[in-house]
Structure 1
């Protein structure tokens, strides 16, 4: 149960980010300041966690034997640069997603970001030259239908949408799909604390190149920007990767996808309660369909597994 709760809390952390960003925009802060302060705080927290992990390893293994830990070999600079490059898509995702919030409602932006579910399937199918099976195709149909309802397209049509915001939201989904793809291949043998530290560093440096961090010297960081940066860095850049690293190995990727979908209703609920955005009953039905689409492959997998186990037990008896 604690591993399930760990992944669930990580997803909920992601769900509150957009509400914080919209609030920061309301106080006059710009995109580079919001994302830059988030990654700066996240980087400080990640490096602190990495140093704490390293100290604990040395205390456990090095104090008595005098030998360094072999579980996490020292990273070469080539590996560090690779991890930093693998961390840039998450920064790009934040830039695209947060910028889309300037043009479209928070509830629509999170739904567009959630299109990474079928975009990831498409990328996997193209890269492996493998046609999706029937369950995957059914899942995609449900996801598309749920998206049309949740976005309000069925009720209000497409004329009310700002297409710049829609394009940015969809591009954030593409970038997030690439991040998931790269993060799984980015030196998985290394401890998650070390991996996340270098990946967040790469994302922060990219943002600082695109948006020079003038907020470090012009006094903005001494105001509410520090509070927004701390909340975004804690709930966006630091806690979710740590919570996922704790829970995912014990519950599997399938259940992680189901629990991770809780980010969507949390973001939509906060949009309605905190930002006072109108979310209709039909849109909530769409949100439920999107979550069903995310959960469906794992449900079928578990049903098939139980059927195989029943067949084997019947043969044994």
Structure 2
């Protein structure tokens, strides 16, 4: 792949991960308005599903040309992005948020491991160093060291790790399934799968309980853009041009964005240790690319 194309792909994945980071603060704002996790999550995938299908009408001819086996693969792949949120939100019910985030960010090394097992792509030393740095930065940024944990149990840990596994698989399939199709079409079918699994696990009671009329529709549209449409599209467009392990490492930029947005939008207090953690994560992302740059320079 040409260097320019590679850096463009990296930019797309970084932007998609940053969009996920923005999502967290707006979800909290929705909770402050009195809406439940089921209402917020359900409306997010519902409006994401509707929005993407409306956008896909402009490519209706290409949409009709997609074969049934490909549709099935895309829909099944999309269930992983829906399950990520489902498992993560449920882990928060029995774990401290700082510990739940730490569990979710295990996707950084899971992506490298998946590449190693399925693609026979052995991680280089810079990638392992990057993972160690990112996990260390995550510990610092999550605030887990600032006080003792108050909520922790085995089921919550299991749910947090399941969320990490599902996020890893979402990244993997974003870069592997039906990559010959336009990103919008792939994203539409994948979010269809996400909507099917989430609305099955959490029935859309918000459609008839009056929550939409109380303002949930606004949060649903905003969250669908930040959490479903934009990141899924950008991952579908950028992930096919890089290894799953690199995409997972780049995805760790989500946490610094979460902390910055929490400080700016929610006025939450951030500690110097958290800012140090952010810097460590960003340095880890830079380290993960080191060998690629050296190799490119030596072959040019």
Same fold? TM cut 0.5 = yes
Alignment of 1:168-247 (within 5 A): 168-244=159-235
**Residues 9 and 144 (structure 1), Cα distance of their counterparts in 2 relative to 1, 3 Å cut:** closer
Separation in structure 1 between the aligned mates of residue 108 and residue 200 of structure 2, nearest angstrom: 30
Separation in structure 2 between the aligned mates of residue 140 and residue 260 of structure 1, nearest angstrom: 12
Aligned length: 292
Indicate the residue corresponding to 2:36 in structure 1.
Answer: 30
Bigger Rg, structure 1 or 2:
1
Pairwise CA distance, 1:305: 1.9
Separation in structure 2 between the aligned mates of residue 247 and residue 144 of structure 1, nearest angstrom: 24
1:148-188 Cα shifts (integer Å, max 9, x gaps): 3223344435x345456665444322210011112222211
1:19 correspondence with 2:21 = no
1:304 correspondence with 2:295 = yes
Pairwise CA distance, 1:102: 4.9
* 1:285 aligned to which of 265, 276, 293: 276
Q: Normalising by structure 2, report the TM-score.
A: 0.82
**Residues 306 and 140 (structure 1), Cα distance of their counterparts in 2 relative to 1, 3 Å cut:** same
CA contact (8 A) 2:25 2:258 kept: yes
Separation in structure 2 between the aligned mates of residue 278 and residue 167 of structure 1, nearest angstrom: 29
CA contact (8 A) 1:258 1:295 kept: no
1:64-116 Cα shifts (integer Å, max 9, x gaps): xxxxx7xx771222221221111000001111233445566766655543331
Secondary structure of the residue aligned to 1:87 is helix
Separation in structure 1 between the aligned mates of residue 239 and residue 159 of structure 2, nearest angstrom: 29
1:42 correspondence with 2:48 = yes
* 1:75 aligned to which of 37, 49, 66: 66
Secondary structure of the residue aligned to 1:29 is coil
Alignment of 1:246-257 (within 5 A): none
Separation in structure 1 between the aligned mates of residue 27 and residue 221 of structure 2, nearest angstrom: 12
Q: Normalising by structure 1, report the TM-score.
A: 0.78
CA contact (8 A) 1:106 1:271 kept: no
Q: CA RMSD in A?
A: 3.2
Indicate the residue corresponding to 1:64 in structure 2.
Answer: none
**Residues 111 and 297 (structure 1), Cα distance of their counterparts in 2 relative to 1, 3 Å cut:** same
CA contact (8 A) 1:87 1:202 kept: yes
**Residues 202 and 245 (structure 1), Cα distance of their counterparts in 2 relative to 1, 3 Å cut:** closer
Indicate the residue corresponding to 1:89 in structure 2.
Answer: 80
1:267-300 Cα shifts (integer Å, max 9, x gaps): 1112223334332111211122122222312122
Secondary structure of the residue aligned to 1:200 is helix
**Residues 245 and 86 (structure 1), Cα distance of their counterparts in 2 relative to 1, 3 Å cut:** closer
Structure 2: tracts of 5 or more residues without a match: none
